[in-house]
Amino acid sequence: MLSSLNADLHSHSTRSDGVLTPSALAERAKRNGVELWALTDHDEVSGIAEARAAAADLKMPFIAGVEISVTWAGKTVHIVGLGIDENNADLKEGLRQTRSGRERRAHDIAAELEKAAGIRGAYEGAMQYVGNPDLISRSHFARFLVEKGVCKSVSDVFQHYLADGKPGFVAHRWAKLSDALGWIQQAGGVAVIAHPGRYDLSDVALTALMEEFKQLGGVAIETVTGSHTPDQYAEFHNIARRMQFDSSRGSDFHSPDDCEVDIGFLPALKPSATPVWHRWQQLL
């Protein structure tokens, strides 16, 4: 049955804030039984060619993906694009613009950490963990602060230093929702709301986001993701059915040392879901 396919359509490599190269990630996905895989680096598609070639060598069906950082109603929201042509010029230019503020922001985060928490050298420290100089992220700062012994885990760093309202948080304006969907659609892909249960939005605001997303042509939401609790799998399954969204499934895997769920190890979608991968049946 299609809904029980071991599809993992959300994961990160060293081209963004993951710790495995696209090839190593492909090998891990295959070993863990993944039957359809998407690489979805933040604001970046430069790992897709390597990922596609590695997946082909392993005879693992693959679709190209990306996770775009969006600012909607003043909050950061992530939109996954699946089945994109990573060479599309509009998409590439949009992603380039979206990435372009990260360097400045990283210096600002380091300055905040020094000013508010007395932590020095955080920019240089985070850079040691960066695989792609265009894509310095809060995850890289988190790994450095764990190395320094400031916190025991990456999630502790977010809780105490990097989340909204904490001493190292720097507000940032990402892409517009309508632009992100436009780039994905220009590149022939479909748009998916990543981990909808993770946003700091009221129920009313979340519904407004999903309605606007649908109006802009968005087709799916992640229901089963490493960022949701089992209760949230059910909650978002019901929302997807009610709002006529397809369901997507993805671990959001970043690192073997520090992950909610390993790639390929999530529970299946419910049989009554419409899996977003019905669109790529020819690959299976």
Summarize as ranges the residues that interact with Mn ion (CB under 5 A): 17, 67, 78, 194, 252
Among the residue ranges 110-118, 135-143, 204-212, 272-280, the one whose residues contact ligand AMP (CB under 6 A): 135-143
Choices 55-63, 122-130, 153-161, 216-224; region in contact with ligand AMP by CB under 6 A: 153-161
Is 155 an interacting residue with respect to ligand AMP (CB under 6 A)? yes
Look-up of token digits 């696209």: 22
Degrees to nearest 5, angle at CA 269 with 81 and 204: 65
Contact indicator for 76, 69 with CB cutoff of 8 Å: yes
Is 158 one of the binding residues for ligand AMP (CB under 6 A)?
Answer: yes
Residue closest to 38 by CA, chosen among 55, 24, 21 = 55
- DSSP class of 159: I
Could you write out the three-class secondary structure of 133-152?
CCCCCHHHHHHHHHHCCCCC
Q: How far is the CB of 81 from ligand AMP (least distance, A)?
A: 15
44 binds ligand AMP (CB under 6 A): no
CA distance 170 to 159: 14
Q: Which residue's beta carbon is nearest to the bound ligand AMP?
A: 137
**N-to-C CA span, the chain:** 12
* Site residues (CB under 6 A) for ligand AMP, limited to 210-249: none
Among 10, 30, 138, 237, the residue binding ligand AMP under the rule CB under 6 A is 138
- In angstroms, what is the minimal distance from the CB of 12 to Mn ion? 5
The dihedral over CA atoms of 181, 182, 184, 190, expressed in degrees to the nearest 10, equals: 60
| Least spacing, CB of residue 135 vs ligand AMP, in Å | 8
For ligand AMP, the binding residues (CB under 6 A) are: 17, 42, 69, 137-139, 154-155, 158, 254
